[in-house]
């Protein structure tokens, strides 16, 4: 199965094609270390006065923004990370201490999914699209 074709449309807002997924964290230093060391993202910049940073992902135009806050809201949107081999990606994350929310789900012929959280409770999901 291939990804569904999408028709490119222009946003009336003047969307520039960039996407920053902003997440609240309790400790910016700890979060940066986790996102770099566990997910392999790289720090683009950090603004000390705002306790904010952005990290690059492997997807052009998509960054993860982290903002430190005394109260971190858990829940909300789950970020889905597309991977080529979910078993290998999951095994790698598990060696780094990531605990998954149950076994990898296999939706026959469509997708495999595995859910986990960052240290602040933000939801993530590994997603492998299947052919056939």
Token output for 86 = 């979910």
Name the helix (H) or strand (E) containing 88.
helix 86-95
Q: Using pLDDT thresholds of 50, 70 and 90, give the confidence band for residue 16.
A: low
The structural domains of the chain, ordered by start, are 19-129 (3.10.180.10)
User: Of 74, 68, 79, 76, nearest to 21 (Cα)?
Assistant: 79
Token output for 118 = 């960052």
Task: Please write the tens of the pLDDT for every residue from 85-95.
Answer: 999 999 999 99
- On the question of pLDDT at 8 being above 80, the answer is no
The separation between CA 96 and the C-alpha centre of its own chain, rounded to angstroms, equals 16
Q: What is the pLDDT of residue 6?
A: 61
Q: What is the pLDDT of residue 92?
A: 92
Q: Using pLDDT thresholds of 50, 70 and 90, give the confidence band for residue 14.
A: low
Task: Please write the tens of the pLDDT for every residue from 104-120.
Answer: 999 888 889 999 999 98
Over residues 4-16, the mean pLDDT reads 63
Q: Give percent of the chain above pLDDT 70.
A: 85
Cα separations (Å) of 44 from 20, 51, 66, 123?
12, 14, 11, 22
Q: What is the pLDDT of residue 12?
A: 62
**Averaged confidence pLDDT in the chain:** 85
Q: What is the pLDDT of residue 108?
A: 82
pTM for this entry: 0.70
User: Of 74, 92, 75, nearest to 83 (Cα)?
Assistant: 92
């Amino acid at each position: 199965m291939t990804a569904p074709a999408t028709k490119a449309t222009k946003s009336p807002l003047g969307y520039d094609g960039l996407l920053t997924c902003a997440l609240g964290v309790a400790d910016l230093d700890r979060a940066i270390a986790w996102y770099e060391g566990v997910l392999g993202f790289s720090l683009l910049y950090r603004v000390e006065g705002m306790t904010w940073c952005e990290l690059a992902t492997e997807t052009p135009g998509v960054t993860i923004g982290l903002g430190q806050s005394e109260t971190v809201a858990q829940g909300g949107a789950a970020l889905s990370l597309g991977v080529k081999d979910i078993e290998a990606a999951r095994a790698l994350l598990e060696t780094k201490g990531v605990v998954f929310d149950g076994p990898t789900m296999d939706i026959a012929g469509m997708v495999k999914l595995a859910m986990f959280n960052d240290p602040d409770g933000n939801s993530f999901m590994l997603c492998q699209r299947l052919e056939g």
